[in-house]
């Protein structure tokens, strides 16, 4: 399954400042599984995932990934994803403020 580029979705060649997307979970994944799904593998080269897109400049500066089953939220960063928080049942924690405001 592929992911559409921002240009395809918005018809604009500029990257947004921030992005939030989710990775669906088929099972109760471990933190390691979640990190691997973003493209962080030791000794492996993956193309077209969150980490790869960040390295080649195809990702917004603030790229957040939410995992539905664990309700964990991460920021995709250059060397490793940064865990932000577990949302659990309190969806007020999911509020980011205004995204992409210039």
Domain boundaries along the sequence of the chain: 21-89
What φ, ψ does residue 39 adopt, rounded to 5°?
A: 105, 15
pTM score: 0.73
The H or E element that residue 37 is part of is: helix 31-37
Q: How far apart are CA 62 and CA 6, in angstroms?
A: 14
What does the pLDDT look like over 61-77, one tens digit per residue?
Answer: 788 888 888 889 998 88
Q: What is the mean pLDDT of residues 15-42?
A: 80
- Position 83 scores a pLDDT of 92
- Position 4 scores a pLDDT of 56
């Amino acid at each position: 399954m592929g992911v559409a580029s921002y240009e395809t979705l918005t018809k604009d060649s500029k990257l947004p400042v921030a992005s939030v997307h989710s990775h669906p979970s088929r099972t109760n994944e471990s933190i390691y599984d979640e990190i691997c799904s973003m493209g962080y593998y030791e000794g492996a080269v993956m193309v077209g995932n969150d980490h790869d897109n960040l390295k080649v400049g195809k990702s917004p500066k603030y790229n957040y990934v939410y995992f539905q089953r664990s309700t964990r939220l991460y920021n995709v960063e250059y060397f490793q994803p940064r865990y932000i928080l577990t949302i659990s049942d309190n969806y007020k924690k999911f509020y980011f403020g205004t995204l992409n405001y210039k």
